[in-house]
Every structure is written in C-alpha cells, then in structure tokens.
Amino acid sequence: MNQLDALKSFTTVVADTGDFLQLAQFRPQDATTNPSLILKAVQKPEYAPLMQQTLAQHGAGDLALTMDHLLVRFGCEILKHVPGRVSTEVDARLSFDTDATLMRARRIAALYAAQGVQGDRVLIKIAATWEGIQAAAALEREGIHTNLTLLFSFAQAVACGQANVRLISPFVGRIYDWYKKQAGAAWDEVAMAGANDPGVVSVRRIFNFYKKHGIATEVMGASFRNVGQITALAGCDLLTISPELLAQLAASEAPLSKALDAQAAKAMDIPAVGHNEAGFRYALNDDAMATEKLAEGIRAFAVDTAKLETLMLA
C-alpha cells in the first residue's frame, strides 16, 4: 500500500488545486480552490476557454459578478471529478466586511444551486477574521456551509468552533515558514520536522481541543510544504494537499501510522476556552505569527483576485 492509500484509511484526502484534470489519478474525496489557484489555472491553455466562455456569457460590466460565475464554473467542473465537496472562496478584499461577505457568499451558493449543485457539496471559503467568522455563523444558520481559511491561531479556531462553522483550514506550511524565517541560521530542520513542526503542533492542538470538547467543526490541515508535515497529521479529519505532494505520497511505500486520535484526545486534560470579540482580537494580536500571516494571506489573495480581474478586462 502506498502512503496516499494508507493516509486515506485515517483521513479524508482533499486535493488543493484548480487544475481539475489532475484529480482522477489521485481520487480525492473533496477539492479546495482559492484565487491564486484559479489564476494559475486560467493561464494554462487547457483552462483558458473557461474564462473566455464565462466572459462571453456574462460580460465584464460587473466584474465581481462575473468573477463569481467563473469560480462557480471551475467548482462545477471540479465536482465532476470528486464525489464530495468543493470549496469556493469569497473575495478576500471583503474580509473585514461581514455584510458584504454575506452577500457574496449567498450569491455563490445561489449560483451553484442554479447549476443543480446541492448545498451539501459546496463549502464557502471565508477568511477567519472576526468579521468573517460572524458572517460564517450567520451562513451556517441559513444552511450554507463554510470553510474558514487563512487560519493560523488557536484563537481563530476557538471562535470558529463557537460559530459552529462546518470546517476550518489551519495553514501548516505558512506557520512553518514564519517560524523558520524568525529563527534564521539557528533553525534546525531535522529537530523541527514531523511532530515538532510548528504548523503540525498548531493543528494537533486545535484537533485535540475540538475532540475533547465535542466541537463538531471539521479540522482540515492545509498549505503543506513537505510530505513529513502531512504524515505527521495522519488521523486529522481532512488534509488538503497539492497535486505535487499527492504524487509524492502515491510514489512512496514507507510505513504510515495514525498520528492524531480523536478518542485519545477525549481523555486529555484540555481546559475549555471561549472568546468574545474583545478577547478574540486581543488573543490574535498577542500572536505575532498569526497576525502577520493573516494580513499577508489576505493581501496575497486580494492581489491575485485583482490579477484575475485584469485578465478578464484584457
């Protein structure tokens, strides 16, 4: 059994890509997208027609609406290749506007419904700001399920659990990047690998906290830099993995054991935690890594969304 098949026995494997033609060989359950992945895809000859067709049908007069049509078009194509769900992201430039996030999320959900896609096959991705989490809470009450992304801190995870969001995506690789950069020449790659990787440590803490306190929100590790980060989280609810790393897992027959265990977490001594808005903002502010990476992530997705818009106008 290769590592990918072994991982699937512990964890739901999700493909992190807009390149849906790659999906068949890995047979993931779900797929996730983001503006950067869609931007990368539409610049490939095999996917350019999707944007051209979307523009022909909807024009460029209302770029935001046409963008949502494009994202849903990709999502519908992806759903032809996976049996589960696709995650589609709300414009990151709305990350601090609850009402605008709600409007765009509802529209994306409605566009999927108009294509005959049932709501349980779609997750609306929203940045895990306070405003985004409040929007997600309202959407969940309406039956629109959410994936809270750009999640770097325990405080964000706590607030998402309180909001009863369907799923969170803690960013393993970007946490690792920050700590490695901070350490500079003192970074010991071997000592900080696997279970000691700071991104892995963060996800394990969140996973154990949720399982201990019966929080139903699913934990999906994301943004991996290497296979070791993935194997160290075997047993997590879900892991979303790039095609490149999926291929590495499929090519390896090294043994793989379960690293996270929901039943074991229930026996751990983990205190309950809750946050109101002030407590959330202070806890996030107190975490330099999370504060910096959340801001950086929103900026990066906003830049790539603007690049997509520029391509539409070209």
Per-residue model confidence as pLDDT tens digits over 47-72: 999 999 999 999 989 999 999 999 99
Residue 192 buriedness (CB in 10 A; 0-12 / 13-18 / 19+): middle
Over residues 221-244, mean pLDDT: 97
pLDDT of residue 79: 96
pLDDT at 181 over 90: yes
* Residue 155 resides in a domain: yes
Amino acid at 92: A
pLDDT of residue 24: 85
* Residue 296 resides in a domain: yes
* Residue 313 resides in a domain: no
* Residue 312 resides in a domain: no
pLDDT at 22 over 90: no
pLDDT of residue 184: 98
Over residues 214-235, mean pLDDT: 98
* Residue 314 resides in a domain: no
pLDDT of residue 52: 93
Q: What is the number of structural domains in the chain?
A: 1
Selecting among 8, 80, 125, 212, the annotated active-site residue is: 125
- Boundaries of domain holding 283: 3-307
Residues 42/67, Cβ–Cβ less than 8 Å:
no
* Residue 281 resides in a domain: yes
- Indicate the pTM of the whole model: 0.96
Within 8 A by CB and 6+ apart from 286, the residues are none
Residues 147/123, Cβ–Cβ less than 8 Å:
yes
Tell how many helices (H) and how many strands (E) occur in the chain.
14, 8
Q: What is the CATH number of the domain that holds 70?
A: 3.20.20.70
79-94 residue pLDDT tens: 999 999 999 999 999 9
Active site residue 125: yes
Mean pLDDT of the chain: 96
